[in-house]
């Protein structure tokens, strides 16, 4: 079950020739795959392409109708390996993941795939998670395209261009026997727009035909001497074919006037930003008219030398606009101009920042600097460019910097991972700090306040492996953390297997929340939901024991903070050597609420007796020390100013977002905090017995309270 359901949007995938598709970029790509007669699709979820996987999962009906096979791959490596179906058979396949993180994982298969080459179109759709809001290291997919010689499409960020790139990508792949990467930026993935649809196409050659009529060709396998042949093929056959195709199909685009003393060359993905920057400079309008010649690289690799030479020749200077570093295209362009002896001056990252996101403001400044140097007359009377500099310089706005709090992502209300880290904090207070190797997933939020736990994170499922150097004689053991997503992605083998084999004397905490939660709540092997399409309910504990771990503890309710604490303490202090594996399980709160809320509402409506739990704080008892918050961080556990003149500091307060997970109470109990927390059980549709008991209790308790009230001397 994914975080967001696309069942409604999937209807858009059924549109036929001439109908207008309206929706998100990701959905448009899915539609384009179906229009291209794709045979199989795989991938691994992750921002920004999670929704693509979720759409495909929800689109099973449409896919079955067309005979398209879809898989949620175990990892990007599995997805990339899946493309091997297109090596021998004329079937089109597409896989998708987050780049560059996923491309790193997939690179082994991608290298083998691109070396041997493909028969059917093979498309790798990567969501480039670069710039603001990115959750990964800032690197370029471009490097992978170059080193493995895969063609890289970077279409303009609008739906028609992206859809066309999918269709052309398959053709390019087939024409040049080379896998193709389609790179879309994080915002393009989520851009809402429209395009004119075509009919969906059934694959001409089916996977069934392929598997029943196997073919083999030893020359497509990476082994000497074939490997040497591949290299020759790449350079002498596939590359020229690709160049011919890109040129003949006119995949790159020219905008603006035919002639001009200067020109701009840009990656397709930057087109809208560049146009907005030019508009601000008075050199373009919002409908696409432009006073400067633009050369848009919808194909960033390979570059088409003669197109670029033709564009640059006769111009005084061109500006290469390329996001990310190193500036591969600028370097290549420089070589092209030199080889063709074109004397046009080349600007690029000398006027533009070397790194960082190219926002329209950044682009405007860079282009402005370029024009100032090479064609100042184009800037005309220099209309004022939109700017917030004046207001940002005022003391009032500057003062905000000290007031507006950082607000990084964090654990959700009711998150079952929070008590795990609360327990770790409690153990830390007893046994001192430990080296903690963190991993990828929601649990990585533990590195932020209030927990401040975790020293490094090396990759998905690599937490325990990244603690392996500390397998030395010492008085403290390293702790490593890994989520269930990371565990099945890579961790079982690379981390747990590795630790068992090398007798790694450390603690491995597997955070099991029943889903790949950070990527949107997709099911995985150990998910506890019954999934009609997949095999779920496979035990992490059994898997760990299966690879030979001996000391394994399962805490099947992470909210038991005291139990979590004691288990962790035991793992850190037991004389037993080798890995100590703790599997801490509780359902992801976000997904649980999504699952449970409708059921609850229905039960209430049907008049069934149901109980809703919620926590609260007795304001009078709270002394405002906020120790509970430092051990919880729950968004619904907050603070509020009080009217009590004897209290200086705000007191704790729980808002209506509380889902009654119990963490507050368990933490205050385990850490011996103040007794101000209470749990309220609200009984909906109480039974007769409920009512009778409540009346009895009210009578007795009310009598005692009235008795004491009567004796109490009070100002109020």
Partner 1 sequence: MTVHPNFPAADQPSRLSTDKPLSVAILAMGGQGGGVLADWIVAAAEGAGWMAQSTSVPGVAQRTGATIYYIELLPERDGVAPILSLMPTPGDVDVVLAAEFMEAGRSMLRGLVTPDRTTLLTSSHRSYAVGEKEVPGDGIGDPDSVVEAAGIAAKRIVAFDMQTLAEKNGSVISATMFGALAGSGVLPFAREHFEAAIRAGGKGVEPSLKAFAAGFDKVAGNDRQEIVPKAPGKDLPEPPVTVGVPALDALLARIAALPESVRPMAYAGARRLVDYQDPNYAAEYLTALEELRAEDERAGGAAKDWRFTENAAKYLAVAMAYDDVVRVADLKTRSARLPRIRREVGAKDDQILGLTEYMHPRMEEVAGTLPARLGHAIENRPKLFAALDRIVNRGRRVRTDRIHWFLALYAVAGLKRFRRGSLRHEREAEHWTRWLALARRTLPANYDLAVAILSARRLVKGYSDTHARGNSKFDRVLSAVPTLLPQAEGGAWMERLIKAALLDEEGKALDGALLTVASAYETT
Give the footprint of partner 1 on residues 380-399 (CB under 8 A): 380, 385-389, 391-392, 394, 396-397, 399
Q: According to CB under 8 A, which residues from 184 to 213 bind partner 1?
A: 185-188, 190-193
Residues 693-712 touching partner 1, rule: CB under 8 A, are 694, 696-697, 700-702, 704-706, 708-709
Q: From residue 236 to residue 255, what is the string marking binding to partner 1 with x (rule CB under 8 A)?
A: -----------x--xxxxxx
Binding to partner 1 by residue 316, rule CB under 8 A? no
Helix (H, G, I), strand (E, B) or coil at 48: coil
Q: Which of residues 535-594 bind partner 1 (CB under 8 A)?
A: 562
Q: Which is nearer to partner 1, 550 or 706 (CB)?
A: 706
Beta bridge partners of 640: 651
Binding status of residue 521 toward partner 1 by CB under 8 A: no
Q: Between helices 239-248 and 159-176, what is the axis angle to 10°?
A: 140
What residues contact 56, with CB distance under 8 A and at least 6 apart? 30, 41, 43, 63, 70
Buried b (16+ CB within 10 A) or exposed e, 460-494: bbbbbbbbbebbeeeeebbbbbbbbbbbbbbbbeb
Q: Are 85 and 119 in contact (CB under 8 A)?
A: no
Residue from 449, 546, 548, 598 in contact with partner 1 (CB under 8 A): 449
Q: Among 133, 314, 376, 433, which residue interacts with partner 1 (rule: CB under 8 A)?
A: 133
Q: Considering the complex, state which of residue 341 and residue 396 has its C-beta at the smaller distance from partner 1.
A: 396
- Single residue of 71, 129, 322, 523 touching partner 1 by CB under 8 A: 129
Q: Least distance from C-beta 695 to partner 1, angstroms?
A: 10
For partner 1, give the closer residue by CB, 501 or 692: 692
Q: How far is the CB of 466 from partner 1 (least distance, A)?
A: 20
Among positions 218, 400, 472, 532, the unique one binding partner 1 when judged by CB under 8 A: 400
**Cβ closer to partner 1: 132 or 341?**
132
- Considering only residues 585 through 624, tell me which ones interact with partner 1, judged by CB under 8 A: 611, 614, 616, 618, 620-621, 623-624
Tell me how far, at minimum, the Cβ of 294 lies from partner 1, in Å. 9
Q: Which of residues 52-81 bind partner 1 (CB under 8 A)?
A: none
* 157 lies in the site for partner 1, by CB under 8 A: yes
User: Quick one: which of 234, 276, 477, 563 contacts partner 1 (CB under 8 A)?
Assistant: 276
β-pairing, 580-585 vs 507-512, is parallel
CB–CB of 123/169 below 8 Å?
A: yes
Residue 243 beta carbon to partner 1: minimum distance, rounded to whole angstroms: 12
C-alpha to C-alpha distance for 79 and 438, rounded to whole angstroms: 25
Among 44, 411, 460, 559, binds partner 1 (CB under 8 A): 411
CA distance 710 to 715: 13
DSSP string, 600-635: HHHHHHTT--EEEEEEEE-TTT--S--HHHHTT--T
Q: In this chain, which of 9, 58, 233, 307 binds partner 1, going by CB under 8 A? A: 307
Answer yes or no whether residue 372 interacts with partner 1 by CB under 8 A.
no
CA angle in degrees (0–180, nearest 5) for 662-663-667: 125
Longest CA–CA span in the chain (Å) reads 103
Kindly tell me which of 292 and 511 has the beta carbon lying closer to partner 1.
Answer: 292
Quote the least distance from Cβ 231 to partner 1, whole Å.
29
| Residue 645 binds partner 1 (CB under 8 A) | yes
Smallest separation, CB 190 to partner 1 (Å): 5
The distance of closest approach from Cβ of residue 220 to partner 1 in the complex, given in angstroms and rounded to an integer, is: 33
CB 30 within 8 A of CB 59: yes
Place of tokens 């089109």: 92
80 neighbors 494 (Cβ within 8 angstroms): no
Q: Residue 283: CB partners within 8 Å, gap ≥ 6?
A: 290, 291, 292, 378
CB of 413 to partner 1, least distance (A): 8
Residue among 292 and 500 whose Cβ is closer to partner 1: 292
Task: Determine contact, residues 152/300, Cβ cutoff 8 Å.
Answer: yes
Q: Does 8 bind partner 1 (CB under 8 A)?
A: yes
Assigned token pair, 691:
């009512």
- Three-state DSSP class for residue 84: coil
Helices 101-116 and 226-233 pack at an angle, to 10 degrees, of 100
Q: Does 445 bind partner 1 (CB under 8 A)?
A: yes
């Amino acid at each position: 079950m994914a975080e967001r359901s696309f069942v409604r949007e999937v209807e858009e995938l059924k549109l036929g020739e001439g109908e207008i598709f309206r929706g998100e970029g990701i959905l448009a790509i899915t539609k384009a795959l179906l229009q291209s007669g794709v045979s199989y699709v795989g991938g691994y979820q992750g921002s920004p392409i999670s929704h693509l996987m979720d759409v495909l999962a929800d689109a099973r009906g449409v896919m079955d109708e067309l005979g398209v096979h879809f898989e949620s791959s175990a990892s990007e490596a599995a997805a990339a390996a899946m493309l091997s179906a297109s090596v021998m058979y004329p079937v089109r396949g597409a896989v998708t993941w987050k780049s560059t993180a996923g491309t790193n994982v997939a690179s082994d298969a991608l290298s083998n795939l691109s070396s041997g080459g493909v028969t059917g179109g093979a498309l790798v759709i990567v969501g480039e998670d670069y710039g603001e809001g990115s959750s990964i290291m800032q690197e370029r997919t471009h490097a992978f395209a170059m080193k493995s010689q895969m063609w890289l499409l970077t279409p303009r960020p609008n739906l028609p261009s992206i859809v066309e790139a999918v269709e052309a990508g398959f053709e390019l792949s087939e024409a040049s026997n080379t896998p193709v990467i389609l790179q879309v930026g994080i915002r393009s993935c989520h851009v809402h727009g429209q395009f004119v649809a075509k009919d969906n196409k059934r694959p001409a050659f089916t996977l069934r035909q392929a598997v029943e009529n196997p073919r083999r060709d030893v020359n497509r396998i990476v082994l000497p001497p074939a490997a040497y042949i591949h290299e020759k093929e790449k350079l002498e056959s596939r590359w020229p074919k690709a160049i011919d195709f890109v040129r003949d199909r006119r995949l790159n685009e020219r905008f603006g006037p035919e002639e001009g003393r200067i020109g701009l060359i840009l990656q397709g993905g930057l087109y809208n930003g560049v146009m907005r920057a030019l508009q601000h400079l008075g050199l373009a309008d919002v409908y696409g008219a432009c006073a400067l010649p633009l050369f848009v690289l919808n194909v960033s690799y390979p570059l088409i030398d003669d197109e670029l030479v033709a564009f640059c020749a006769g111009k005084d200077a061109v500006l290469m606009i390329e996001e990310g570093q190193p500036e591969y295209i600028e370097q290549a362009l420089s070589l092209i101009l030199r080889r063709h002896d074109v004397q046009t001056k080349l600007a690029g990252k000398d006027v533009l920042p070397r790194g960082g996101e190219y926002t329209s403001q950044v682009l405007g400044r860079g282009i402005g600097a370029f024009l100032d140097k090479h064609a100042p007359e184009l800037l005309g009377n220099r209309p004022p460019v939109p700017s917030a500099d004046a207001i940002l310089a005022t003391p009032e706005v500057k003062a905000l910097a000290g007031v507006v709090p950082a607000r990084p992502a964090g654990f959700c209300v009711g998150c079952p991972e929070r008590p795990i880290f609360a327990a770790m904090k409690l153990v830390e207070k007893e046994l001192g700090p430990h080296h903690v190797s963190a991993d990828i997933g929601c649990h990585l939020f533990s590195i932020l306040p209030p927990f401040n736990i975790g020293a490094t994170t090396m990759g998905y499922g690599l937490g325990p492996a990244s603690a392996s150097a500390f397998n030395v004689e010492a008085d403290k053991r390293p702790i490593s953390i890994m989520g269930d997503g990371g565990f099945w992605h890579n961790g079982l083998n690379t981390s747990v297997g590795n630790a068992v084999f090398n007798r790694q004397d450390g603690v491995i905490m597997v955070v099991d929340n029943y889903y790949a939660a950070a990527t949107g709540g997709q099911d995985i092997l150990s998910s506890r939901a019954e999934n009609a399409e997949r095999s779920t309910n496979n035990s992490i504990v059994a898997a760990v024991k299966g690879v030979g771990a001996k000391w394994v503890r399962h805490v099947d309710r992470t909210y038991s903070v005291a139990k979590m604490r004691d288990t962790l303490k035991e793992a850190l202090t037991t004389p037993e050597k080798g890995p100590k594996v703790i599997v801490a399980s509780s359902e992801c709160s976000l997904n649980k609420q999504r699952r449970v809320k409708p059921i609850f509402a229905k039960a209430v409506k049907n008049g069934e007796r149901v109980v809703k739990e919620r926590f609260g704080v007795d304001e009078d008892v709270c002394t405002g020390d906020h120790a509970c918050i430092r051990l919880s961080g729950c968004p619904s556990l907050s603070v509020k100013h009080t009217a009590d003149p004897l209290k200086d500091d705000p007191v704790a307060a729980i808002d209506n977002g509380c889902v009654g997970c119990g963490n507050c109470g368990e933490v205050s109990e385990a850490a011996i905090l103040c007794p101000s927390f209470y749990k309220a059980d609200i009984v909906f549709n109480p039974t007769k017995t409920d009512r009778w008991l409540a009346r009895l209790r009210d009578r007795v308790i009310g009598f005692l309270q009235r008795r004491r009230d009567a004796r109490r001397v009070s100002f109020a």
